[in-house]
Homo-oligomer: A and B are copies of this chain.
């Protein structure tokens, strides 16, 4: 851990001044940013507002032993960006609530904010305000406010029987990365390390790096979400934060339908398979139950070509059809490679 002054030495107001001085410039639609009672923004005429909040807690959502401060900030913003993206809205503004122990080095706070600002800049999001308070462990809650045409925004509740279920990218990568981190692997400045004495097969290095980066620096698919909303292709959409099984359950419940997932259609990339093998886990299980991929899951009645073309034409990855919406009484099933059906299990849930 970096040394230097702590948050206690600087105090709340000193820390606020420091952050304000380092804050990137704000776009013209932000009339007042940090430093007043509240931020003031000029919304785009005619657009609806979209707002969400998501929280990361030290020890639950990440561990300092493997998570750089910058990754905490990056991920803190990304989880909320992802929710706004899953509505098909354009993320615009963020507010950051940060609780910290007084012994936290100021450098760590700088790192967290570098991560937040970096992810925000990449998404065209202005960090317009926040709150600092003392907490026994780090807790980071980020509110993201976005905009979009009310008639384009995509809810969880619009899926219809017979529609195809799609995901925007490979699943299980972030879960594989988490397993690698828990098994003692680390990625430091692109170099991959294992526990002392661990021999890392050369072929596995790239897979370990890729999956650990996917866990530490996930990408939110708000640009893809926007395309799927504007084109009217997605009838229902959710971001995969808790895992395919858990998040599909919520979409199905909101839409009042059932669903069938084909196990051999679930996109699992080579890195995920390699890491799963290295740590002795089943890669399809990681894809089904592991969360934090932040790919979008959506349903559509459009043809495969239409759906694929809409994303590919805009430079995004080809999406994957993984199943079909069914009648509610069929429930939520997983069809194995040999046609055997079983109920789809549940993914991550807090407090359990």
Contacts and interface: CB of A to CB of B under 8 A. Distances in A.
Interface in A35-65: 35-43, 45-57, 59-61
Nearest to A89: B38
A72 interface: no
A330 B105 CA distance: 35
Given A95-B143, A155-B32, A350-B132, A39 B51 contact: yes
Interface stretch (A145-153, A193-201, A265-273): A145-153
A308 interface: no
A335 to B, nearest CB: 25
Nearest to A92: B49
A209 to B, nearest CB: 29
B31 A150 contact: yes
A309 interface: no
Sorting the interface of chain A by its residue count into under 10, 10 to 19, 20 to 34 or 35 or more gives 35 or more
A135 B57 contact: yes
A75 to B, nearest CB: 14
A43 B48 contact: yes
Contacts of A57: 99, 133-135
B145 A55 contact: no
Contacts of A135: 57, 60, 137, 139
Interface stretch (A10-18, A172-180, A336-344): A10-18
A214 to B, nearest CB: 20
Contact of A50 (B39, B83, B352): B39
Contacts of A350: 11-12, 132-134
Given A15-B351, A350-B12, A36 B133 contact: no
A56 B38 CA distance: 17
Given A87-B38, A137-B135, A95 B51 contact: yes
29 contacts: A12-B350, A12-B352, A13-B250, A13-B349, A15-B351, A37-B83, A37-B87, A38-B87, A39-B50, A40-B49, A43-B48, A49-B49, A51-B93, A52-B95, A52-B129, A53-B95, A53-B130, A53-B131, A53-B143, A54-B131, A55-B97, A55-B133, A55-B141, A57-B135, A95-B143, A133-B350, A136-B136, A139-B139, A145-B145
